[in-house]
Amino acid sequence: MSLTTPDRFGARSASDVTVRLTSSKRDVKGRAVEWTLLSTLLISLLILVALIVNLIDRAWPILSGRLGDFLSSGIDASSAADAGVWQAIRGTLILSVIVAIVAFPLGIACAVYLEEYAGKSKVAGLIRINVRNLAGVPSIVYGILGLTIFVKFAGGLTGGRTVISGGLALSVLVLPVVIITASEALRAVPRSIREGALGVGATQWETVRSHVLPSAAPGILTGTVLALSRAAGEAAPILLVGAVTGLLRTGNQSLWTQITEGGFTSMPVAIFSYARQTGADFQAVTGAASLILLILVILINGLAIWLRNRFERSW
């Protein structure tokens, strides 16, 4: 094959074509963008790693010295040697259970209504927008709300400054997030599934129950369990509702009495209490408590992933 010299692309000979095709005249801008993006990712990861390393370093005296004792002692912000987290862990778990019982069914039901029944009316649109707005309301505001409604107004039912009030305040806090994630999961269910069910004569509820909800279940579960881990990490609202910060004596009350009448605390509140104290020993306590909260949240997220995978395989 002969080349007209130079050809349309400026090559003067066959060997010149070879050189042009193989020499690395790379996409410089593209490379730059790629490296920038990669470096931002690395920086984020580095910060996270630094945080964890720092926590472990700070918590080391506790982790190596009295971990078992630390895990089994109650909250005590007056003496670092006696300080522990077991009441806080228990409080956080009870709060999580209350959130799961209250916020999940309520939020999923709201989402089903908004997505499957409400249609495209203006009122429904307004509600959807405002659910999104509610998700952006600062958590301290939900604390005030919890204090006003669950502690003062409905104190007779909740027992006042109890873990029930705290759980309800956290439920209200994560409710918009649950509604939004469940709505998105429902919206992702293809229209064809609904049409298929309706096409063989299913009612709307039969369609939702037998096909739409099962198809959306993995997404709903992931979203709600992530909302749970957010609730587990919140300090502000339950501080306002009356979580105990300094020292919590529980005596010999039964678990039920403690839940319905007694004081409570939680992991973030315990961290807050310990962080306010001065001295290297309390720094170690704070670090250890933070690490345990981190592990707790990671466990909850792990549960979310496990549930999602399990449900995706189940049909």
Q: Does 197 bind other proteins (CB under 8 A)?
A: yes
H or E segment to which residue 30 belongs: helix 28-65
Q: Does 127 bind other proteins (CB under 8 A)?
A: no
Mask of contacts with other proteins, 173-192, x by CB under 8 A?
A: -----------------x-x
Mask of contacts with other proteins, 45-64, x by CB under 8 A?
A: --------------------
Q: How far apart are CA 185 and CA 208, in angstroms?
A: 13
SS3 229: helix
Nearer to other proteins, 158 or 207 (CB): 207
Out of 100, 202, 275, 294, the only residue in the binding site for other proteins (CB under 8 A) is 202
Out of 7, 34, 57, 206, the only residue in the binding site for other proteins (CB under 8 A) is 206
**What length does the chain have?**
315
Q: How far apart are CA 87 and CA 263, in angstroms?
A: 10
Nearer to other proteins, 44 or 203 (CB): 203
Q: Does 275 bind other proteins (CB under 8 A)?
A: no
Q: Does 215 bind other proteins (CB under 8 A)?
A: yes
Out of 125, 138, 196, 246, the only residue in the binding site for other proteins (CB under 8 A) is 196
With CB under 8 A, what is the number of residues at the site for other proteins?
21
Mask of contacts with other proteins, 97-126, x by CB under 8 A?
A: ----------------------xx------
Cβ atoms of 218 and 315 within 8 Å: the answer is no
DSSP secondary structure letters along 258-299 = HHHTS----HHHHHHHHHTS-SHHHHHHHHHHHHHHHHHHHH
Out of 198, 247, 294, 303, the only residue in the binding site for other proteins (CB under 8 A) is 198
Rg (CA), the chain: 28
Tell which residue, 86, 231, 260, 71, has the closest CA to residue 163.
260
Cβ atoms of 123 and 110 within 8 Å: the answer is no
Least distance (Å) between residue 197 CB and other proteins: 7
Residue 76 has phi, psi (to 5 degrees) of -150, 105
Out of 193, 275, 294, 303, the only residue in the binding site for other proteins (CB under 8 A) is 193
Cβ atoms of 103 and 175 within 8 Å: the answer is yes
Cβ atoms of 143 and 157 within 8 Å: the answer is no
Q: Does 6 bind other proteins (CB under 8 A)?
A: no
Out of 203, 253, 257, 309, the only residue in the binding site for other proteins (CB under 8 A) is 203
Least distance (Å) between residue 193 CB and other proteins: 6
Interface positions with other proteins (CB under 8 A): 119-120, 190, 192-203, 206, 210-211, 214-215, 315
